Structures are given as C-alpha cells and as structure tokens.
Structure 1
Amino acid sequence: MKMNLKNILLAAMLLMATPMVNAQFLTASDTSENSVKRYKSIINANKEIVDFIEYSLVQKGLPRHLRNLALIESHFNRNITSGAGAVGVWQFMTAHANQYGLTEQNRNDLYKSTKTAAVSLANLYKKYNNWITVVAAYNCGEGNIAKAMAAANSSQYHVFYKFLPEETINHVKKYLNACYATGELQAVLSNYNSSRMNTVFFADGGSKKDNSQLAETDINAGFNLNIIADELDVDMEKLLSWNPGISDELKQKGQSTLYLPTDLMPDFLLRKTKILSRSVKESNTPTIRQ
C-alpha cells in the first residue's frame, strides 16, 4: 500500500482526534456469571455442531466468533422454527435462503445451511467492513440497514442503530454478550474501531479521500461555527452542508460531531485551540451570524 507523508500525518492526526467506540456504548450489557455460564453451557452441549461451524467459518476466512450468531439465533437447534418462519441453526428466512440457492427444505440441513451462512456473512462483510453491522444486517436485512444509514446520514452503527428495529438492536446486544462469554468481545470491538478508522481516513486501498468524503471529530458548544468557517476559509453555507443540523444539536445537547473534508481536518486540528479561544472571546454560543 502506497502512502505519502501527508497521508501518514493526516491519519495520525485524525486518529488522535477521533474517539474510539468503547465500553461507553458498544459493549456487553450482561456480564453476569449466570449469562456467561448459560452461553458456555449451550456451546459445550453442542460441541460437534460448534466444531463443524467453526471449521466451516475458518475455511471461508471468517472469524470463529461468528459461531455466536448461530448461538443466539437458534442455540444450535437445527429443527427450530421462529414465529416469523425462520428455520434451522442459522434461522434462514425463505427469501434469504433463495438468494443463495438454499432450498426451503434444506434450511435445517446443518451442512448446507452453514455453508450458505458463511457465504452470506462473507458478502455482508465485504459490504459493511465490520462484524457488528454484519450481525445487524443478518437480522433485519440490508434494506433496513440502508434506511437507517440514510436516516442518520451515517454508515457507522453507533450512529444509525437508533433507526433500526428494536429486535435488531437487542440482537446485536445479545451477540456482544455472547462474545463476552467466549472471550472474543475485544476482537469484535477492535474490528469495529478499525473499520471506523478506515472509513474516516482512507479509500481506494489507502489513497487519501477526495473532498466529498468527510472526516469527523467532536466539538462542544464553546465553538463558534462562524469562526470555524473563517479560520478554515470556507463559506458558512458549505460548512453547514457538511453538517446539517449542527447548530441545533450544539444548542440542545452542548456537543456535536463536526464533519470536514479530509484535506481540511488537519487545518482544523492544528488551529483548534485558537478557534476555541476566539469563539470564547467573540461568542458564548455557536450561533450563525445573520
């Protein structure tokens, strides 16, 4: 991967400015001893099935922790049928199964359904590049993910999740709980944070994003948007087009995410202290001058 010095410096500066998603949001919601024992007990009681699933995942280049998706979907019961009509260990709906050539009758076939699930999960990962969004998409479908992303104007799960069905949000929580029980939670969260960095920093195999792609950092209500625009030498209209609704969010919540093109973000970070100092002196609120 070719990276020039400017790209390296940009990545380093954004890495310092972009907060990691950690225990404050994406984490196990139930770390009780009973929860851990329950998940481990189900895995131990289905060792042959689990071994086959893990082998199939590894053969496809997928992480073993995806076995936890089958764990929360069906408890590895190949004969289970949900109220919505999902069948088997991987709880395939008819439409999802047909999409990958799995017949309705074979949805409870462990071998065929696992091979199909591995292909489906691999395809979802190519699309979303993190396992948390993959788990959400497996539950509610790619269409609902697209709608949630559009509603939130973000491709990051910790931003768009609130627009997903409650069942899907709980499904992701169960997955994180299961991964905690199996000692794989940190790997899942690290993968998510790595995906966030790739989204913020790079596109096209490591080249710097063009101006249509935005980096992000957090600001509080002490920052004046007019002064940000002035220091970066951009029109206020342009700044607001990158950050729709930011004025209201700063007023109501006292903080917001600021989005800027990747080539402008280093300038903001270098001048951040100066911008805040000017903002405090000239205005106590981030209002827009008329």
Structure 2
Amino acid sequence: MCSQIVNAQFLTASDTSESSVKRYKSIINANKEIVEFIEYSLAQKGLPKHLRNLALIESHFDRKITSGAGAVGVWQFMTAHANQYGLTEQNRTDLYKSTKTATVSLTNLYKKYNNWVTVVAAYNCGEGNIAKAMASAGSTQYHIFYKFLPEETINHVKKYLNACYATGELQSVLSNYNSSRMNTVFFVNGGSRKDLGGLSETEINAGFNLNIIADELDVEVDKLLSWNPGINEELQQKGESTLHLPTDLMPDFLLRKNKILSRSIKEGHTSNTKQ
C-alpha cells in the first residue's frame, strides 16, 4: 500500500505554483496559430491534444531553436531521429513537415509502450535508453524504471506533467498511465500478434530454450508461441529473435534472464523446435 502512495505522489505535477501555470499558459497564448496547427495535426492522427505540451517543453514553439546537443526546431529533432522518418536536416525547422513526422514517431512509440508517460521519456532519450532502464529495473513500468534514466529525461517528464497540470490535462495523462498498467495483459488474452498493445519486447539469441522460458514464467509453451509466431524459425535461421511477452510478465523474464540462459545451456536447447 505504501509503495502505491509513493508511486502516486511521484507521477504527478511537481510544480503546481501559480507562476508555473502562468508561464506555460502565456507561452501557449503567445503561439496560438502554431498551437492550433499542432493540435489539429494530432487530432488527425487520433492523438491526444496534450501532446502539444511536448513541443511546448521542447522548444517553446520556436522553429529556429537549436539545443546544445544539436536538436532543431519546434519538435527538437536530432539528425538520427529525423533521418529515421525521412525528415531532412533542413526540414527540421519546417513546422508542417516536422509536425507530421512527430505525429508518426509518437504513434509508433505509443504502439510500443502503451502509455504517454513512457512515450515522452522515450522521445527525449531514445528507445535504447528506455530498454536499458527497463532491464536494469526488471520492470516495464515507468515509476519503477525511471531511476535508471538520464537525469535530463526524468526532468523532462516532470516538466511534461507540470505543463499538463497547467493546461488542465494532467488527470487524463495519469489515468492513461494507470489504465495501461492495469489493462495491458488483457489485450493479449486469446490475443492476436497484430495488436502488440499489451506485449513488451526484448531480444534473445538461439541459446535460449523456449520450453525453459515457459517453465520459468509458468505459462504454456503453446501460449508463448502464440505471442511469438515464427520465433523458432527465426532463432534457427538468424540465431536471434525478438521475444514478445505480456507487459506484466516481462519484468519476471528480465530478472530471471541469466538463470533461464544457464538452464537452457545446461539442459540443451534442441527442444526449441516444437513438432
């Protein structure tokens, strides 16, 4: 019970002062046309309007701003992130093209993480850092793994929650976070691989025995294979594959990963191929 209270306190606005609220609101009011365009673009993609606050804390809606790290424009795209989505170096300052790219990036991140708090963190520090933090914490839940993220990212999420408090959208963000924690596993029951909403992913190599993974996680091998169609073939052909597990099981796998690998090597992994 105590940890739930701590978590609830952590995932909330850290600055609800009148001056903070006024500051965020005044930046929005000073950039009404840009804000309206961003909100329209988000709505077109079925994304919540509160994501306009990501541009608010990233750049204060300044298209010409360049950060010390070299991130450019309203959405503060780094070159690599921009290139990933076909946004050229020059077009990072183009409001229309960069916003279109940001909506695609945010949609993809949400499909992967299923809550906006983790999406904001991933947008700031990259998916690789999120994966490392989750592995270090043995959890896919932001309020547990955040301690392993860069300080700048932790502060970025705090700023986002403060901005959402200022715009009256904090409750929506927190409700989304809590419902994703409670409901992710139900999306996959009897589930289809097409909807990875409730599945988290990690990389494994051919040293892992799927039967032992199933045994350690106390799930049926058939269920494990239903979450991972084609995994046997991929492990045999490439020697590695992405393993998908329900979000609530992933921390258990990460915590026992070394033990599972040791058992797999000890007991042999030829039983991966299931007839």
TM-score, length basis structure 1:
0.65
Q: Structure 2 residue aligned with 1:161, among 146, 153, 156?
A: 146
The residue type equivalent to 1:202 in the other structure is F
Give 2:57's aligned residue: 72
Give 1:28's aligned residue: 13
Give 1:48's aligned residue: 33
1:1-290 equivalent positions in 2, closer than 5 A:
19=4, 23-199=8-184, 201-204=185-188, 212=217
- 1:213–1:191 distance in 2 versus 1, CA, 3 Å: farther
Q: Does structure 2 retain, via aligned residues, the 8 Å contact 1:22–1:189?
A: no
Higher relative contact order (CA 8 A, sep 6+): 1
SS of aligned partner of 1:160: helix
Equivalents in 1 of 2:41, 2:218: separation in Å? 37
Q: Does structure 1 retain, via aligned residues, the 8 Å contact 2:47–2:107?
A: yes
Equivalents in 1 of 2:113, 2:5: separation in Å? 18
TM-score, length basis structure 2:
0.68
The residue type equivalent to 1:151 in the other structure is S
1:25 positional shift? 1.3
Equivalents in 1 of 2:190, 2:7: separation in Å? 25
1:23 positional shift? 3.9
Please give the root-mean-square deviation of Cα atoms over the aligned residues, in Å: 2.7
1:133 positional shift? 0.1
- 1:130–1:242 distance in 2 versus 1, CA, 3 Å: closer
SS of aligned partner of 1:202: helix
- 1:90–1:205 distance in 2 versus 1, CA, 3 Å: farther
Q: Does structure 2 retain, via aligned residues, the 8 Å contact 1:50–1:67?
A: yes
The residue type equivalent to 1:204 in the other structure is V
1:204 positional shift? 1.4
- 1:238-273 CA-partner distances (Å, limit 9, x unpaired): xxx88969xxxxxxxxxxxxxxxxxxxxxxxxxxxx
1:164 positional shift? 0.1
Give 1:219's aligned residue: none
Give 2:238's aligned residue: none
Q: Percent identity?
A: 83
The residue type equivalent to 1:164 in the other structure is L
- 1:136–1:158 distance in 2 versus 1, CA, 3 Å: same
Equivalents in 1 of 2:168, 2:5: separation in Å? 20
- 1:61-98 CA-partner distances (Å, limit 9, x unpaired): 00000000000000000000000000000000000000
Give 2:230's aligned residue: none
1:198 positional shift? 1.8
Equivalents in 1 of 2:253, 2:33: separation in Å? 52
Rg bigger for which structure? 1
Q: Does structure 1 retain, via aligned residues, the 8 Å contact 2:135–2:254?
A: no
Question: Which 4+ stretches in 1 moved above 2 angstroms?
Answer: 18-23, 205-214, 241-245
Q: Does structure 2 retain, via aligned residues, the 8 Å contact 1:30–1:177?
A: yes
- 1:82-138 CA-partner distances (Å, limit 9, x unpaired): 000000000000000000000000000000000000000000000000000000000
Count of residues in correspondence between the two structures: 202
Equivalents in 1 of 2:143, 2:181: separation in Å? 10
